């Protein structure tokens, strides 16, 4: 088990009013993301707990790109990873922001 | 005085030698070994029917067991190296040289045998390339084929898995060769005649039905959301944009995802009847929901698929069937349809380099090609126009010239990382190293980069037709290569410029909502759902039954 955090600066606060969403599943090849609106408006953070060690540079590249694409200000993401590949990580993170910004 | 009848005399001698172990054309199974030792000669070119799916497995085991002091140095010319017995021929020194197309399940064993010098490799072919050579410089002296039934005259019924048989028999029987068929059963009357008796010399009733590999069954439960996203991009960004009606799909999960999205996502986009109506395709169970929803006009098949027989018989408006009702497949003709009459080939691959060259060779495995290089290539001899072909041609030529020829759409779909986080994008194909190690004259490339029109990954679509230089092409490949080293070495400004020109398109550029990329979007979520869609006509093989 490897655990680490990646911090980022955001250009803007993520829109919407949801306090928290959870998406995905901590299953083999998949991952679970918990998103909480708990940070200052221009900060964002991803906490990774992964069963597969040795891929931290790729995780950091994926997360950095995700921050640039979505600017998820105020959001903290907690990932429980079951060995997902970067494509699944990106898709889940993008989906989770979209859920937080959903007006409903 | 030159003898112009040597082949006929030779044939008579072999028929005569074989007849000692036969009653008419019928050879008892317990005499099969002595029979083969009588009709086969050292150095013969032998086609031991090993197709993509059906296997003349009884005859393969008998041949692998012959006395090697009598039969040796055979030259095996068959499309599939699939069974252990196929490799045993070389291990035992019965065969020495090999020309083939596909070796899926034996890919690793084949690589080991080549490295150990047990096999002298002629070449790895596409299917129709090997079949073409049957009529030129690789004509079999003896063909050992498989059929479902024979009648007492020797007419053969192949059942739905006709596959390579008519082509093998044509080349052998009409060049004074010997044709021996293993059949599951000898009957008084056949449901239909697939091979006429006067092209068949001997029949062996095998002790069990020939083996057929279920190769094309993809369990919807294993389709991932990344694959669904890629499938959505392909449907919206390629099928719909080029109006692709005539096509072939590969066997991977990404194209299975497309099949399962036609009745849902395709329907939402209003595409029924406008795309994917005519197919050169094996009977993929994952296409059942689209067929049942009225998407598919007709399908011609290379082979069959285990469990699909009753469904296909009941859907004869869609499939090619005999007057007996069962499927008639034909690999040569379907590959020809895939080459000349399809506007698009779309399939998965295992490795792509920065020029777009694509290979399924990985360290220690030679899977062969099958039909992909043929269907996944632009046929320079094509002369009939169609909307997708002309559009692709215009894109490739930049509208220059008055005699712009069309182009086939050749789409490679792959996730950026494979099993165990192995990057699928590489600077240099593993196949090049393998070719150097084994002293091949030609590195095995499944699809050359200059034939590839589009690459689809979870990151987006790269349209290589629109690239105007090798440098642009390289950045287009890197621009969809995700977080692999190849992808991370991209020039971000160049990739952004390609995106502005529509050469690279992201899901958001195509108006695709990532939240929609969900398994809920699949028309079937399991094999059982496919059975339900088929009204119980599809009989899933037991290894796919988990209910």
Q: Are A97 and A72 in contact (CB under 8 A)?
A: yes
Cα dihedral sign for B476, B481, B482, B483?
A: negative
Fold of B345-505: Glutaconate Coenzyme A-transferase (3.40.1080)
State the Cα–Cα distance between residues B98 and B121, nearest whole angstrom: 5
Of the pLDDT bands very low, low, confident and very high (cuts 50, 70, 90), residue B90 is very high
B466 touches chain A (CB under 8 A): no
State the Cα–Cα distance between residues B485 and B98, nearest whole angstrom: 37
Q: Of all residues in chain B, what percent carry a pLDDT higher than 90?
A: 92
A25 touches chain B (CB under 8 A): no
Q: Give pTM, 2 decimals.
A: 0.95
Inter-chain CB proximity A87 and B421 less than 8 Å: no
The interface predicted TM-score (ipTM) is 0.90
Quote the minimal CA–CA distance from B221 to chain A in Å.
13
Chain B residue closest in CA terms to A89: B226
Domain ranges of chain A: 2-51+59-101
Inter-chain CB proximity A88 and B224 less than 8 Å: yes
Q: Are A74 and A12 in contact (CB under 8 A)?
A: no
Domain ranges of chain B: 32-212, 214-342+512-537, 345-505
A5 touches chain B (CB under 8 A): no
Condensed to tens digits (0 to 9), the pLDDT of residues B184-227 reads: 999 999 999 999 999 999 999 999 999 998 889 999 999 999 99
Q: What is the pLDDT of residue A104?
A: 60
- Cβ contacts (< 8 Å) between A58 and chain B: which residues? 421, 483
The DSSP code sequence of A22-77 is: EEE--STT-EEEEEEE-S-TTEEEEEEEESS-S-HHHHHHHHHHHHHHH--BTEEE
- Cβ contacts (< 8 Å) between A88 and chain B: which residues? 224-226
Query: Hey, which residues 46-105 in chain B have their CB within 8 Å of chain A?
Result: none
Inter-chain CB proximity B515 and A98 less than 8 Å: yes
Average pLDDT, chain B: 96
Inter-chain CB proximity B415 and A87 less than 8 Å: yes
Selecting from A52, A65, A98 the residue whose C-beta is nearest the C-beta of B514 gives A98
Does CATH number 3.30.230 belong to domain A2-51+59-101?
Answer: yes
Greater pLDDT, B105 or B300: B300
Inter-chain CB proximity B514 and A94 less than 8 Å: yes
Inter-chain CB proximity A86 and B417 less than 8 Å: yes
In CATH terms, the superfamily for domain B32-212 is Glutaconate Coenzyme A-transferase (3.40.1080.10)
Condensed to tens digits (0 to 9), the pLDDT of residues B281-323 reads: 999 999 999 999 999 999 999 999 999 999 999 999 999 999 9
Inter-chain CB proximity A61 and B421 less than 8 Å: no
Condensed to tens digits (0 to 9), the pLDDT of residues B355-413 reads: 999 998 887 888 889 999 999 999 999 999 999 999 999 999 987 777 889 999 999 99
A34 touches chain B (CB under 8 A): no
CA angle B101, B461, B242 (to 5 degrees): 80
B482 touches chain A (CB under 8 A): yes
Q: What is the CA radius of gyration of chain A?
A: 13
């Amino acid at each position: 088990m490897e655990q680490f955090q990646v911090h980022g600066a955001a250009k803007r606060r993520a829109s919407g009013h949801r306090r928290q969403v959870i998406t995905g599943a901590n299953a083999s090849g998949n991952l679970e993301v918990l998103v909480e609106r708990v940070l200052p408006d221009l900060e964002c953070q991803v906490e990774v707990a992964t069963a597969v060690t040795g891929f931290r540079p790729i995780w950091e590249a994926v997360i950095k790109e995700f921050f640039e694409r979505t600017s998820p200000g105020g959001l903290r993401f907690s990932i429980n990873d079951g060995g997902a590949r970067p494509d699944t990580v990106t898709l889940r993170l993008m989906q989770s922001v979209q859920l937080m910004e959903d007006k409903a | 005085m030159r003898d112009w009848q040597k082949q006929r005399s030779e044939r008579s001698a072999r028929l005569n030698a074989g007849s000692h172990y036969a009653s008419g054309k019928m050879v008892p199974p317990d005499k099969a070994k002595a029979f083969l030792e009588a009709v086969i000669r050292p150095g013969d070119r032998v086609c031991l029917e090993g197709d993509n799916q059906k296997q003349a497995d009884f005859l393969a085991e008998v041949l692998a067991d012959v006395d090697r002091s009598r039969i040796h140095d055979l030259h095996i010319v068959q499309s599939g190296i699939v069974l252990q017995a196929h490799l045993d021929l070389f291990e035992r020194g019965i065969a020495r040289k090999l020309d083939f197309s596909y070796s899926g399940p034996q890919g690793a064993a084949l690589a080991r045998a080549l490295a150990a010098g047990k096999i002298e490799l002629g070449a790895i072919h596409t299917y129709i390339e090997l079949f073409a050579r049957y009529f030129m410089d690789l004509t079999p002296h003896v063909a050992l084929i498989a059929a479902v039934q024979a009648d007492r005259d020797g007419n053969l019924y192949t059942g739905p898995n006709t596959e390579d048989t008519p082509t093998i028999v044509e080349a052998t029987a009409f060049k004074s060769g010997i044709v021996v068929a293993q059949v599951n059963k000898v009957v008084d009357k056949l449901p239909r005649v697939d091979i006429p008796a006067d092209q068949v010399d001997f029949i062996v009733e095998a002790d069990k039905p020939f083996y057929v590999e279920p190769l094309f069954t993809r369990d919807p439960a294993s389709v991932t959301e990344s694959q669904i996203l890629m499938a959505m991009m392909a449907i919206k960004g390629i099928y719909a944009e080029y109006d692709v009606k005539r096509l072939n799909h590969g066997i991977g999960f990404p194209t299975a995802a497309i099949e399962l999205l036609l009745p849902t996502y395709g329907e939402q986009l209003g595409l029924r009847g406008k795309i994917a109506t005519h197919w050169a395709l094996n009977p993929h169970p994952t296409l059942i929901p689209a067929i049942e929803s009225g998407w598919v006009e007709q399908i011609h098949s290379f082979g069959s698929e285990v469990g699909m027989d009753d469904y296909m018989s009941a859907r004869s408006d869609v499939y090619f069937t005999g007057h007996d009702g069962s499927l008639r497949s034909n690999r040569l003709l379907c590959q020809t349809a895939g080459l000349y009459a399809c506007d698009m080939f779309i399939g998965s691959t295992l490795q792509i380099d920065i020029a777009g060259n694509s290979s399924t060779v990985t360290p220690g495995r030679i899977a062969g090609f099958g039909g992909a290089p043929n269907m996944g290539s632009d046929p320079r001899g094509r002369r009939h126009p169609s909307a997708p072909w002309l559009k692709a041609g215009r894109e490739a030529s930049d509208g220059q010239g008055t005699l712009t020829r069309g182009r086939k759409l050749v789409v490679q779909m792959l996730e950026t990382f494979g099993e165990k986080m192995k990057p699928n994008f590489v600077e240099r194909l593993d196949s090049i190293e393998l070719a150097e190690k084994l002293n091949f004259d030609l590195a095995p490339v499944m699809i050359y980069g200059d034939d590839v029109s589009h690459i689809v990954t979870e990151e987006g679509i790269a349209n290589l037709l629109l690239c105007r230089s090798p440098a642009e092409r390289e950045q287009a490949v890197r621009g969809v290569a995700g977080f692999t080293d190849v992808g991370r070495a991209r020039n971000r400004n160049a990739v952004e410029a390609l995106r502005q020109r529509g050469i690279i398109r992201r899901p958001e550029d195509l108006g695709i909502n990532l939240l929609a990329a969900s398994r809920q979007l699949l028309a079937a979520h399991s094999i059982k759902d496919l059975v339900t869609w088929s009204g119980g006509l599809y009989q899933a093989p037991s290894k796919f039954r988990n209910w």
